[in-house]
A and B are shown apart, each in its own frame.
Chain A
Amino acid sequence: MRQRLNKALGPVAFVLVLLTVWLGLFVTPPDVDQGELVRLVYIHPALAWVALYVAFGMAALCSVLYLWPRTRSMVFDYLAAAAVEVGVVFTILTLITGSIWGRPTWGVWWTWDARLTSTALLGVLFLGYLALRRVPADPHVRARRCAVAALFAAVDVPIVHFSVLWWQTLHQGATVLNSNLTPTIHGSMAWTLLLSFVAFTLVFVWMVIARYRIEVIRVAGQDVALEAAIASRRAEGVPS
């Protein structure tokens, strides 16, 4: 059952992304102000949603579960690492699609407003997390270090979220998760937006599972290699 779900996840995610593309490009109408440019709303917010809340939220949760002595397990360390790795990719894609959207609508590729700056900072912080994982150390020492780093970096997530409320920014406020939770998007546009969130979240889950498995296999491979090396050294030491 579980394996069948796992196998179905990739194709289901792929079909939902295709459906989002079809609805976003051909079915939904243009916007009164933005015209055809509005179609980026079916990509950019979904990427940001996955990066900020799903990926870095999961990384923070797994880091807490690792640091908590009762639930400490390398599983959470591997899951946090996988979530951050995929999350950084989604953060970079968020910045790229935002830039592509900003040029024709705002008139600039980039500007140092609070939303954009704090998002770039988030990307740098989690790149730092990935760099920290590369520092050679005992697996448990590395796991603890990285869990603390992930929690430190995750502080920026609410700052990014609330930046458009706390400060005056060029970036517009939230369309769906606004203060009175009344989405200011209508009809087929709203449904396609919702679909894009589901589709990209499934893509994220699929990628994280794959990345987690690679990590498990890599660690198992290291153990096998270590045992083989010890065995060969032992064999050398035996006088013939």
Chain B
Amino acid sequence: MSEGKSTAPATPQKPTKKMTRPAVRLFLVGGVIALAVGFLLVKGLGSSLDYFKTVDQAVSQKQSIGTSEIRLQGTVVPGSVTRTDTGATFQVAGGTKQVYVVNSGTPPQLFKGSMPVVVVGHFQSSESATFVSNQIMVKHTSSYIESHPERVKAPDGTVH
């Protein structure tokens, strides 16, 4: 099969003065796809290309953030977790900065000290170092480590 440019008009061209039914359908399908893609772009990429601010970013931008809702990412400081009737309070650290989080709502099951987390909420005031949150998400790492490392040695002897 050798189709060059010279054989291109071999397919009969239909007169396209009126929109034929397939053409209408094509435009409908195209429109729906464009809408769906647009929705995803605006909803997803537009508002959160970066999903969160790290603790040191948030602390340094505190004046501009004020009390508006953000997602804050940091590592739970070991030993700082106190379970309360309505949730938990703890410190999250990122870089050299720390923020005190007061959370209401049940933390996810993997939540514990030294886990990286994303908390959703806002600073109590633009001066306050207290962050009021109503949702904790655990941002686990991409490392998978056996919980009984003494049984099977890691291939290169290291544990990340």
CB distance from A39 to the nearest CB of B (A): 10
Q: Report if B82 contacts A (CB, 8 A).
A: no
Q: Report if B152 contacts A (CB, 8 A).
A: yes
The answer to whether A29 and B147 have CB atoms under 8 Å apart is yes
CB distance from A83 to the nearest CB of B (A): 20
Q: Report if A72 contacts B (CB, 8 A).
A: yes
Residue on A nearest B145 in the bound complex, by CB: A32
Cα A41 to Cα B9 in complex, Å, equals 53
Q: Report if B100 contacts A (CB, 8 A).
A: no
The answer to whether A106 and B1 have CB atoms under 8 Å apart is no
The answer to whether B135 and A140 have CB atoms under 8 Å apart is no
Cα A73 to Cα B26 in complex, Å, equals 25
The answer to whether B144 and A72 have CB atoms under 8 Å apart is no
The answer to whether B50 and A167 have CB atoms under 8 Å apart is yes
Cα A117 to Cα B155 in complex, Å, equals 35
Restricting to A95-145, which residues have a CB under 8 Å from any CB of B? 104-108, 111-114, 116-118, 120-121, 124-125, 128, 131-132, 135-138, 140-141
CB distance from B106 to the nearest CB of A (A): 9
When the two chains form the complex, which single residue of A72, A106, A141, A174 contacts B139, counting CB atoms closer than 8 Å?
Answer: A106
Q: Report if A69 contacts B (CB, 8 A).
A: yes
CB distance from A152 to the nearest CB of B (A): 11
CB distance from B34 to the nearest CB of A (A): 9
CB distance from B145 to the nearest CB of A (A): 5
The answer to whether B145 and A167 have CB atoms under 8 Å apart is no
Q: Report if A239 contacts B (CB, 8 A).
A: no
When the two chains form the complex, which single residue of A37, A69, A172, A187 contacts B154, counting CB atoms closer than 8 Å?
Answer: A187
Chain A residues with CB below 8 A from B83, complex form: none
Q: Report if B78 contacts A (CB, 8 A).
A: no
Interface string of B123-151 (1 = CB under 8 A from A): 00000000000011111111111111101
Cα A175 to Cα B108 in complex, Å, equals 23
The answer to whether B40 and A175 have CB atoms under 8 Å apart is no
The answer to whether B145 and A186 have CB atoms under 8 Å apart is yes
User: Given known contacts A184-B160, A187-B153, is B142 in contact with A170 (CB within 8 Å)?
Assistant: no
The answer to whether A168 and B51 have CB atoms under 8 Å apart is yes
Q: Report if A232 contacts B (CB, 8 A).
A: no
Cα A184 to Cα B143 in complex, Å, equals 5
Q: Report if A236 contacts B (CB, 8 A).
A: no
Chain A residues with CB below 8 A from B141, complex form: 33, 172, 184
Q: Report if B75 contacts A (CB, 8 A).
A: no
The answer to whether B144 and A170 have CB atoms under 8 Å apart is no
Residue on A nearest B41 in the bound complex, by CB: A121
The answer to whether A30 and B137 have CB atoms under 8 Å apart is no
Cα A107 to Cα B48 in complex, Å, equals 19
Restricting to A10-46, which residues have a CB under 8 Å from any CB of B? 28-35, 37-38, 41
Chain A residues with CB below 8 A from B36, complex form: 124
The answer to whether A135 and B144 have CB atoms under 8 Å apart is no
5 other A-B residue contacts (CB within 8 Å) besides A111-B137, A131-B33: A104-B110, A105-B140, A107-B111, A124-B33, A132-B26
The list of the 5 closest CB pairs from A to B, nearest first, reads: A117-B44, A107-B108, A184-B143, A187-B152, A172-B142
17 CB contacts below 8 A, A to B, read A29-B152, A31-B144, A31-B147, A33-B140, A33-B145, A105-B140, A106-B108, A106-B139, A107-B111, A114-B51, A117-B45, A132-B29, A137-B22, A175-B142, A187-B153, A189-B144, A189-B146
